[in-house]
Amino acid sequence: MKTGKKAIISAALMALLAPWTSSHGETIRISQIDPSMLLFKQDVKVYVSVTDRDGAPIRNIGKDKFTVFESADGDSFRPIPEIKDFQTMANYEDGIYFLLLIDNSGSMYLDMQQRLTRNQADMKFRHAKTAISTFLQSMTNPRDRVGLASYNSYYESFSSPVSDKARIESLLGQIRMPVGEEGHTEIYASLSRAVDEFRSIKGRKAILILSDGENRPFYKYTGKPHRDFGTKIYSYTEPIRDCQQEGISVFAINFGRGGERKDIHLKDIALQTGGAMFDAGDGSELALVYSKIVGQILNEYLITYSATMDPADKKYVKIRYASDNGPIQGVRFYFSSTVFGLPLKNFSILLLVPFLLAVLLLWLLSKIRFEKKKGAANIEVLNPGTARAVTKSFTLNKGQTIIGASKGADMTIMSGITQIEEKHATITFDNKKKKYTIAGDGDFKVNNKRVKSRVLEPGDVINVGGATIVFDDGEVD
């Protein structure tokens, strides 16, 4: 009974948030809501996409064709009397932040008909790589930034969004074919991890995820704890929540025409985050889909309005478009916060007292010098994974600390999922900067990003040969 009720609620929410389509095929979609100026100016920015039956953007719609409504409960909507600002193609001026999230599971190395092949030119991954290269070369707006990540059993980040598209294209060559148990498909977990690429970014943000199959969690299908999150199995609702909180749209692409089983929740993720679902049967169609997605985002309308002061944890926005073929509308919610969550009419100056006292306390604390005993910097193996860690922890000195397969290394790690050199990586202390730096020619990652050199920060996670190592610089004076 509970399951049935939950399903009904979920279906109702999907119906409310799904894009609205007119009888003539026009569709309106609220792609992203930016409430970052809510506290300071009570302003909310809404990105709106309007497309025809073929998915092409409908351009040059006037401000007077749109009406904004807001609701604290998703039921009773109050009309907003005025649109404060209205921009067309605002994303061209400000630029778009993209993350290309590419399926690198074992099935991507079959041919387009899902058959085994040794010819790399026939593999789905090669078709996808060619399409992505074509797409990157077609991006001419210098304000747009692109990042790159892949996923199979594990999420791997190659670059956060950058303006250098040629660099992203070159990084495609670093995505390697999975071996052994790397070939599973952690779709939901990888989408949640991808959100981290946007944590400090403001503006229009989109994840373009390519998938040729279903979510196949590592732990569920192997019975072994996952290297990064143990026995946890991600639900599809988790990337939805994460993307909604960060204001990120997910555009999902089903790739292939060989009878692949599509993930049943990928469309839900796309629609509930303000994105859309596409199908691409081969590399040529995939290149066109990428271009279509960029075209839709580029031609979005940016509407700014003053939010209502109704107290609510989240508020619903409805945008109505007066099409010549009849009105259509889209609905989405955002996480809200007015001053202490109260309407302005109930605001009292006394409510500022706790806030001012907190500010004063923080200022006083900043003036107090705390003396702490300096702890020793160290590295510790949290999870050996498939490797064998001879040394579990090591206190760093002010010289060099070697991580490698040699018995003479300071931290000895053997038999990992990748070849471990005798001197795989070296941690060195910089007396001038008072910082530790890890560097080496071996294949290693810091915070899930492959690097050759990096200044370490407390809590950084180092991965060598499948072993997870955490860095701690000790307590600071």
Give the pLDDT score at 417: 44
Give the pLDDT score at 240: 96
Give the residue-averaged pLDDT of 297-303.
Answer: 97
E strand spans, 163-293: 204-211, 249-255, 277-280
Residues 81 and 120 in one domain: yes
Other Cβ atoms less than 10 A from the Cβ of 236: the count is 17
Asked if 103 and 113 count as a contact pair (C-beta separation under 8 A), the reply is no
Q: Is residue 371 part of a domain?
A: no
- The answer to whether residue 181 scores a pLDDT higher than 60 is yes
The tokens of 121 are what?
């030119």
Give the pLDDT score at 382: 79
Residues 223 and 91 in one domain: yes
Q: Is residue 6 part of a domain?
A: no
What is the number of structural domains in the chain?
2
Q: Last residue of some domain: 309, 328, 359?
A: 359
What H or E segment, with its residue span, contains residue 274? Answer: none
Residues 343 and 385 in one domain: no
The CATH number for 436's domain is: 2.60.200.20
- The answer to whether residue 371 scores a pLDDT higher than 50 is no
Asked if 328 and 299 count as a contact pair (C-beta separation under 8 A), the reply is no
Q: Tens digits of per-residue pLDDT, 55-71?
A: 999 999 999 999 999 99
Asked if 189 and 229 count as a contact pair (C-beta separation under 8 A), the reply is yes
Q: Is residue 367 part of a domain?
A: no
Asked if 423 and 441 count as a contact pair (C-beta separation under 8 A), the reply is no
Residues 394 and 251 in one domain: no
Q: Is residue 407 part of a domain?
A: yes
Give the pLDDT score at 360: 74
Give the pLDDT score at 9: 45
Give the residue-averaged pLDDT of 375-400.
Answer: 77
Most confident among 254-263, 323-332, 409-418, 464-473 (mean pLDDT):
323-332
CA distances for 161 relative to 289, 297, 395, angstroms: 20, 16, 36
Residues 336 and 391 in one domain: no
Asked if 4 and 305 count as a contact pair (C-beta separation under 8 A), the reply is no
Distance CA 101, CA 130 (A): 15
- The answer to whether residue 230 scores a pLDDT higher than 60 is yes
- The answer to whether residue 12 scores a pLDDT higher than 60 is no
Give the pLDDT score at 342: 43
Average pLDDT over all residues of the chain = 86
Residues 274 and 392 in one domain: no
Q: Last residue of some domain: 359, 392, 411?
A: 359
- The answer to whether residue 14 scores a pLDDT higher than 70 is no
Q: Please, how many CA atoms are within 13 Å of residue 442, restricted to the half-sphere of its CB?
A: 27
Q: Is residue 172 part of a domain?
A: yes
Residue with tokens 């990652």: 445
Q: Is residue 1 part of a domain?
A: no
Give the pLDDT score at 424: 85
Residues 327 and 406 in one domain: no
Lowest mean pLDDT among 60-64, 70-74, 395-399: 395-399
The CATH number for 28's domain is: 3.40.50.410
pLDDT class of 389 with cuts at 50, 70, 90: low
Q: Is residue 189 part of a domain?
A: yes
Residues 260 and 197 in one domain: yes
Distance CA 477, CA 473 (A): 12
Domain region containing 395: 378-472
Closest CA to 123 of 138, 136, 112: 112
60 φ/ψ angles, rounded to the nearest 5 degrees? 60, 35
Q: Is residue 105 part of a domain?
A: yes
Give the pLDDT score at 340: 41
pLDDT class of 372 with cuts at 50, 70, 90: very low
Give the residue-averaged pLDDT of 135-144.
Answer: 93
- Between 342 and 280, residue with greater pLDDT: 280
Give the pLDDT score at 292: 95
